Amino acid sequence: MRTVERMAPLQDEMIGIRRHLHTHPELGLEEYNTSKLVASLLEGWGYTVATGLGQTGVVGTLSHGTGRKSIGLRADFDALPITEETGLPYASQTPGLMHACGHDGHTAMLLAAAKHLAETRGFDGTVHVIFQPAEENFGGAKLMIDDGLFERFPCDAVFGMHNMPDIEAGVFGFKEGTLFANAEGFDVVLRGVGGHASTPEVTRDPIVAGSAIVMALQTLVSRNLDPMESGVVTVGVFQAGRASNAIPQTATLTVDARAFTDEVAALFKRRIPEVIRLQAESFGVTASITAMTGYPLLMNDPAMTQYARKVAVDSLGQKNVIDLKRPYTGAEDFSYMLQKRPGSYLVLGAKSDTAQPLHHPGYDFNDAVLLTGAAYWADLTRDFLKSA
Ligand SMILES: [Zn+2]
Ligand SMILES: [Zn+2]
């Protein structure tokens, strides 16, 4: 019998947990109730549980047999500051917050795997189930690592999984190398000299300077980037002025840049502040630039990715496994874990007739793939920790 069928008795309980999390979303680094629930469930199933890593992160550890190998499985559990518009009976009860990225589903899938592994064992070694806060903004993965994640819970390899509503439900996607972009952000404040709209000669206009900056930034991709490489630079915020007959003192801009190689990321990191500063200077305006912490490139270890793919083929059949052709332009902080340990990040298709994109106010995790993802975690664990 396939693991997914063996796990069928867990289905109702796990969907119940998933929907409970959906009803009670919590923002990054504030996931206190989610963290408490996860910890108490794991404890009840016999895991040794550590809490408070990266503020609200939880790690459950289960050893079986005498094997020395260890595997880390990671789920994220933070929600987003988006107002839910699904109209579901279990919709968010917290105004302005929702699980719009399916991290409620990721958590439920890993919990289901954890319970199944505790009940059925069949592995020889140690599994660490890692429940991570603040994937969306604050780099919870890095915070957990800084709190000694891999020293306290040594993992020979780590794996993570994200649901994708645009891929057929139950299909697993793999890609060696780059899977998610490097993201850099910059907050810019331009300070000029304000004055009357009718006497521009005695002012230093931050709007004109800002406009030149926006246009100059467009040349990074078109003139600085190797035509065979790719990247994207977006000015997402440009705010200035309140009166039609006045030139304001200041303007603010934000810049978002994404790259798919370390070289292009370094180019953006160097050229964006340079272009902003020199453009501002030419208008007699000063620019203060704050670099925002983005996430590094997510690089999948080739050997671990091939391995994870093989486990999927063995347990689900070739028809449920695809190779992803290109990286996602989004960013994902599991990249920090992959900088420390070999491993792979994979995606699980979750398409349905009503599926909305991630981060859409109408999005909901597709419960039909909950046990599929959980069974994969269990199969991966048992294969990785099979007795020598
Ligand atoms: Zn997200
Ligand atoms: Zn997500």
Residue ranges with strand state E in the chain: 48-53, 57-64, 70-76, 125-132, 157-164, 172-174, 177-180, 182-191, 195-196, 231-240, 246-247, 250-259, 286-292, 298-300, 321-323, 343-349
CATH number of the domain at 47, please: 3.40.630.10
Q: How far is the CA of 175 from the centre of ligand 1 (A)?
A: 19
Give per-residue pLDDT as tens, 78-103.
999 999 999 999 999 999 999 999 99
**Statement to judge: residues 200 and 307 lie in one domain:** no
Instruction: Note the ligand closest to the C-alpha atom of 81.
Output: 1
Tell me how far the alpha carbon of residue 359 lies from the centroid of ligand 1, in angstroms.
6
Do 254 and 160 share a domain, yes or no?
no
Q: In this structure, are 130 and 30 located in the same domain?
A: yes
Rounded CA separation 17/104 (Å) = 9
Contact assessment for residue 349 and residue 172, using Cβ atoms and an 8 Å cutoff: yes
Residues 281 and 302 in one domain: no
The per-residue pLDDT string of the chain (388 residues; one tens digit each, 9 = 90 and over) reads 999 999 999 999 999 999 999 999 999 999 999 999 999 999 999 999 999 999 999 999 999 999 999 999 999 999 999 999 999 999 999 999 999 999 999 999 999 999 999 999 999 999 999 999 999 989 999 999 999 999 999 999 999 999 999 999 999 999 999 999 999 999 999 999 999 999 999 999 999 999 999 999 999 999 999 999 999 999 999 999 999 999 999 999 999 999 999 999 999 999 999 999 999 999 999 999 999 878 999 999 999 999 999 999 999 999 999 999 999 999 999 999 999 999 999 999 999 999 999 999 999 999 999 999 999 999 999 999 998 7
- Give the ligand with the smallest distance to the CA of 358: 1
311 alpha carbon – ligand 2 mean position (Å) = 23
Output phi, psi for 376, to 5 deg.
Answer: -65, -45
Picking from 292, 315, 331, the residue at the C-terminal end of a domain is: 292
What Cα–Cα distance (Å) separates residue 43 from each residue in 21, 62, 71, 124, 247?
Answer: 18, 10, 19, 20, 62
How many Cα atoms within 13 Å fall on the side-chain side of residue 5?
Answer: 4
168 and 82 inside one domain? yes
Q: Which ligand is nearest to the CA of 76?
A: 2
Q: What angle do CA 306, 309, 310 make, to 5 degrees?
A: 85
Strands 70-76 and 298-300: unpaired
Q: In this predicted structure, what is the pLDDT of residue 387? A: 81
Main-chain dihedrals φ then ψ at residue 240, nearest 5 degrees: -165, 150
Clarify whether residues 233 and 374 are in a common domain. Answer: no
**Single residue among 231, 261, 292 that ends a domain in this structure:** 292
CATH number at residue 219: 3.30.70.360
Measured in Å, residue 360 CA sits from the centre of ligand 1 at 10
Identify the DSSP state of 322: E
Q: Given this model, what pLDDT does residue 320 score?
A: 97
CA distances from 188 to 15, 207, 236, 276 (A): 44, 13, 11, 8
Tell me: do 114 and 130 sit in the same domain.
yes
Residues 97, 77 share a domain: yes
Number of domains in the chain: 2
The whole-angstrom separation of Cα 18 and Cα 212 is 48
Report pTM. Answer: 0.92
- The residue segments making up the domain with residue 100 are 3-180+297-384
Q: How far is the CA of 250 from the centre of ligand 2 (A)?
A: 35
The residues, ordered by sequence, that sit 6+ positions from 240 with a Cβ below 8 Å of its Cβ are 190, 206, 207, 210, 248, 250, 251, 252
Percent of the chain with pLDDT over 70: 100
Ligand 2 centroid to residue 206 C-alpha, Å: 37
Which of the ligands is closest to the CA of residue 104?
2
Are the CB atoms for 251 and 175 separated by under 8 Å? no
310 CA distance to ligand 1 middle (Å): 27
Q: 383: closest CA among 305, 306, 307?
A: 307
Q: What is the pLDDT of residue 265?
A: 95
| Ligand 1 centroid distance, CA of 77 (Å) | 10
CA of 137 to the centre of ligand 1 (A): 9
Distance of CA 183 to the CA centre of its chain: 11
Distance 356 CA to ligand 2 centre (A): 14
CA of 136 to the centre of ligand 1 (A): 6
CA of 332 to the centre of ligand 1 (A): 8
Return the number of other C-beta atoms located less than 10 Å from residue 294's C-beta: 21
Cα 333 to middle of ligand 2, angstroms: 10
Distance (angstroms) between ligand 2 centre and the Cα of 22 equals: 14
Q: Say whether both 40 and 50 belong to one domain.
A: yes
- The DSSP 8-state label assigned to residue 242 in this structure reads S
Do 302 and 261 lie in one domain? The reply is: no
3-class state of residue 158 by DSSP: strand
CA nearest to 333, candidates 136, 159, 103, 59: 136
CA–CA separation, 262 vs 259, rounded Å? 8
SS3 track for 165-184: CCCCCCCEEECCEEEECEEE
Q: Distance, CA 104 to ligand 2 centroid (Å)?
A: 10
Pairing of strands 298-300, 246-247: unpaired
Ligand approaching nearest to the C-alpha of 365: 2
Domain identity same for 131 and 190: no
Q: Based on the domain organization, do 267 and 163 belong to the same domain?
A: no
Boundary-marking domain end, from 292, 322, 347: 292
